[in-house]
Structure 1
Amino acid sequence: MSTKEYIKNFIKDPNIASVTPTSKQGVKEVCSKMSFENRVVIIEYGPATGVFTDYLLNQISHDSVIITIELNENFVHYLKNNVQDGRVHIHHASAERVQDIMDEFGEQADYILSGIPFTLMNNEVRRNIVKQTHSVLKPGGKFLPYQTFFQRDRHLKDHLHEHFSSVQDRYVFRNIPPMRVYEAIK
């Protein structure tokens, strides 16, 4: 998808978190908290054009799985036409449906990545997504949401502390816009 098309989607859809896709450095920073030595099940909320998906496909084993959950219909269409790998399962849905999707899948996740804009959600939706995220992770699994750097604790970090045993965050300035990356461990 061209930058121009991506920006058009950003303007039309208030659920898109950033005017540009995450940079390669940003992707590596977020994924540095993951291990790819064994089979993994990864859920990705808001994959957009698949910059994380593409990176992950080059890291994971042949028997690993990536489950994407994307709300924007244009991005779902783009992913279905451009990601031709049997390890990727693309769902056109809200992250609020993660429990239903994983019930159908029959496994729990090792990692969940999220670029969805928690800042733009109401408190009930935030709390629900974080709660369901916790429930579909394996013990020791990680939730790795990344947000624009101006994220306030009440938008996400406070909710993470309600459900996860360990929560850390850091800033990544080598991305436009800079990101705040969280690591919440079940």
Structure 2
Amino acid sequence: MELFKCLPMIEDLTISNRLFQFWWFYEDLYSKGLNGLELRTSLDHLQCFRVEDMYFTGRMDLVFILSVIRCSPNLEKFKLHMFGELKESEWNSRTESVTHEDYPDIWLENLNELEIFNFGNSKQELDLVKLILANSPMLKKLSLFPYRKITKDEEMSLLEILLHSPRASPMVEQLIVKK
């Protein structure tokens, strides 16, 4: 958290999920949740935020991402590179989803592009996309790149879910790119 105090002018930030593996205070942060994780600085200049090798095996991954987003009012691009498919047997019992109701203070007023690479269509990934859709009035481009080739039926099912999800932006393009 001290690092972010030194970065108030940063415009482009890339973080690897490996960061989460070394948090000695992981358990303490989990017990506090999003409200307990305060960056104590505003990242007013942050325009592009990338997270690489994300693997939803614990709630802190999501909590950390949402806390950075929450203190970045001018964020324009968010790119998430998933590590790959998360099998149900690999889920941490604390892996939870996020909803618009859980995080009413997150508002991505300037976000216009969301890209998720190696999208696995897990509940956690889909709920994160729905949260961003519901809180991004300027979102124009949503690109999901599945970790594997998906069928036309899977693509249509995913599109139907996203089209029926609450959206703050009337002009979002939902694009699923097959590998």
More helix by share: 1
Same fold (TM over 0.5): no
Greater relative contact order: 1 or 2 (C-alpha under 8 angstroms, separation 6 or more)? Answer: 1
TM bucket, shorter chain: 0.3 to 0.5
More strand by share: 1
